[in-house]
Structure 1
């Protein structure tokens, strides 16, 4: 694994192989780490997606998690997946030299021509003295991509962009730092507007898979907290906080 660039004021731990960068980050939190810590790995043996689905994590892609401790009032943490998705979308443009290459699928998937190029997983835990630790995990398909059962997938190399994981991490770390500063010090409405400007599928029929159900309707947009608004065939509006969207 090549040296990982420093990203002050954040600290960086670079590892060759881990089970999961999120798990390593949360382990640091349980041991009293103050946060502001990036964990970057060349390979994951136990990478996970949403709902515990396995995520292929072989060398050549970017695998990184940022540990935050008490990043915001708990009521605002539902906004964080959108902040992370917007940061990664901006980072992809920076590392590829493109303008608005990716579209965003709620809440935090990045798409290019309808194919998924990333995975973002946020995991939270309460650690010593009631501190809330959040691991923001990013996986970006740089050199290769997994074959997914429910989605088309792609990678930057296959799309014609020559990027290394080290360049990718530098762009990601800078973008995440900038978007987190916005989130902490400005109204969320600005981030929400930027997210919506990249949104895929507004006005389209979608289905949303929940933990115990599946809903069908029209993707109207997001509410002021970033929750999905789904209009049913009877005109009723449903607000959804978490789910998998399919077009």
Structure 2
């Protein structure tokens, strides 16, 4: 974000081979050993501010397309709401989207991604995996980045600065993990469970629960 405030025009990738202070959502630490891919993309004014949160879904479909190219496994790599890549329920990646206002009303967005290419952390409250493991051969982080750097511009073009989220939504649903099945969603100090029905036209998660339909704007999702 510092580069944006210094006037960088955007479309800037910053890649790390290892991180000493990687972080995920809610400030959680993100294990960042060598061999995996740690990439951040700076975009300036990618869409009107109201549509900027949709970037998580745009990047999600680009991510799964890229991972399917370098790891064409069966069943295919899928997406957990909103943008975690999974294989058979095990997490392969994480994503963090941050935004900041700039002078002149412009918006800077940074999309940070961590992709498990060579290893994954143990002792997590959910299953995790890495690409080399599921492919049973070495998967190079540089190859993953090459595919990702091609797929993100294509997904941004599809999105049309927020004017065509319907197409992004359709592509996202084709890649969705757990669609039609049970989910548990942690919302701060409380949890809800229900059947994953779809996502709406803004990207919110729609669940059918015992208490009736529920709309989730933000939360931690777990497949049951």
Q: Common fold, TM-score beyond 0.5?
A: yes
TM-score range, shorter chain: over 0.9
Q: Which runs of 5+ in 2 are unaligned?
A: none
Are 2:222 and 1:238 aligned? no
Which residue pairs with 1:178 in the alignment?
154
Q: Aligned equivalents of 1:155 and 1:61: distance in 2?
A: 9
Q: Aligned equivalents of 2:123 and 2:6: distance in 1?
A: 35
Task: Answer with 207-216 or 218-227: which moved more.
Answer: 207-216
Q: Aligned equivalents of 2:9 and 2:45: distance in 1?
A: 10
Q: Can you list the C-alpha shifts for 1:137-187, whole angstroms capped at 9, x where unaligned?
A: 111100001125221000011112432111111111000111011111662
- How large is the RMSD of aligned CA atoms in angstroms? 1.7
Q: Retained in 2: the 8 A contact 1:32–1:128?
A: no
Q: Aligned equivalents of 2:123 and 2:219: distance in 1?
A: 17
Q: Retained in 2: the 8 A contact 1:93–1:100?
A: no
Are 2:116 and 1:103 aligned? no
Q: Retained in 1: the 8 A contact 2:41–2:112?
A: yes
Q: Aligned equivalents of 1:137 and 1:61: distance in 2?
A: 14
Which residue pairs with 1:136 in the alignment?
111
SS of 1:107 mapped into structure 2 = coil
Given the two structures, how large is their TM-score scaled by the length of structure 2?
A: 0.92
Q: Please show how residues 191-206 of structure 1 align to structure 2 within 5 Å.
A: 191-206=168-183
Q: Can you list the C-alpha shifts for 1:4-44, whole angstroms capped at 9, x where unaligned?
A: xxxxxxxxxxxxxxxxxxxxxx1111211111101111111
Task: Answer with 121-130 or 91-100: which moved more.
Answer: 91-100
- Are residues 191 and 161 of structure 1, via their aligned partners in 2, closer, same or farther at CA, if it must alter by over 3 Å? farther
Q: Can you list the C-alpha shifts for 1:74-111, whole angstroms capped at 9, x where unaligned?
A: 11122111111110100011223457721111001111
Q: Retained in 2: the 8 A contact 1:120–1:136?
A: yes
Q: Retained in 1: the 8 A contact 2:75–2:88?
A: no
Which residue pairs with 2:26 in the alignment?
51
Which residue pairs with 1:29 in the alignment?
4
> Number of residue pairs matched?
221
Q: Aligned equivalents of 1:212 and 1:32: distance in 2?
A: 40
Q: Retained in 1: the 8 A contact 2:78–2:86?
A: yes
- Are residues 148 and 225 of structure 1, via their aligned partners in 2, closer, same or farther at CA, if it must alter by over 3 Å? farther
Q: Which runs of 5+ in 1 are unaligned?
A: 1-25
- After TM superposition, which residue ranges in structure 1, 4 or more long, deviate above 6 angstroms? none
- Are residues 88 and 161 of structure 1, via their aligned partners in 2, closer, same or farther at CA, if it must alter by over 3 Å? farther
